[in-house]
Amino acid sequence: MSASDESKRVLVTGATGFIGSHCLVSLVQRGYEVHAISTKLVMKAESSIVWHQADLLDESSGVRLMESVKPTHLLHLAWYVVPGKLISSDLNFDWVHSSMKLLRAFQQQGGRRVVMSGSSYEYDWNYGYCHEARTPKIPNTVYGACKHALDVMVQAFCLAHGISQAWPRVFFLYGPNEHPDRLVSSVIRSLLQGAEARCSHGKQIRDYLHVQDVAEAIVSVLDCGVEGAVNIGSGTAVTLREMIVTIGRTLGQEDLLKLGAIPSRANDAPLVVADVERLINEVKWQPRFSMEEGLKHTIEWWRHTLAQNR
């Protein structure tokens, strides 16, 4: 079912999060009546977005919200995402449970299409290049296992109840509003403050997208009829070293980069890159930012943010 059919009322969870906050304007521009959820009371000036306060780990809260909003579309991005903790936290299990409760409430109110955010962590990273169907889903983290388990359950539930569904698997991202302890943000903040940026060797190869491109890709998935898993990435392999050096060169602070100063994570995969054929050919989406442009944009955002906080 295309999202262009009749009315389009979308309920967005995780709407104040890293990805969700960048989805809202695009949804409004595409003609959606946007209802956004936050755990805290949000006082926003945008009259085009209706904000709701809810704790989705409280099952009754999500059910009441579904009964009130009666959305035609559900964009579920909320999850536990604290850097360094998310991959092993028991809260991942709670989010699987609450996500299924939310989906059931969505179905009971006549919901038509659901998009829930998946992750590259669902794949067996030993394969390097990750294809939605061909690469085994053998996650080695609690986070990846919970995301994959939810994917399987969502597919079965939606098939049983005639709901259109897609599962965007997000790879690696950076950009405005990123947690300050994540790699790109941490390096930028250190250099802007004249401090050393201590990093691992940087030989790991990854697939990075600017968060605005990630958000636009996810909204494009919601707004089309594509079903099942869709990788959200650039399809381009880049070493962490290349990204780090690009930041240093842009800021004229390469001397403050300390590659190899800290050990890499145990069992860190050497290569993780998305196959993006479905995203390009079926969703008909292309990224707006090159790596250089995206990093410059992120640097300027951090420069402005740090100046405001002085």
Q: What is the pTM of this model?
A: 0.95
For the record, the structure tokens of 97 come out as 């449970």
Residue among 25, 81, 20, 297 nearest 185 (CA): 297
Residue among 234, 231, 77 nearest 169 (CA): 231
CA angle 171, 174, 175 (to 5 degrees): 145
CB 185, CB 174: distance < 8 Å:
yes
User: Could you list the pLDDT tens digit for every one of the 310 residues in the chain?
Assistant: 444 446 899 999 999 999 999 999 999 999 999 999 998 877 665 678 999 999 999 989 999 999 999 999 999 999 999 888 999 999 999 999 999 999 999 999 999 999 999 999 999 999 999 999 999 999 999 999 999 999 999 999 999 999 999 999 999 999 999 999 999 999 999 999 999 999 999 999 999 999 999 999 999 999 999 999 999 999 999 999 999 999 999 999 999 999 999 999 888 999 999 999 999 999 999 999 999 999 999 999 999 999 998 7
What pLDDT, on a 0 to 100 scale, did the predictor assign at position 1?
41
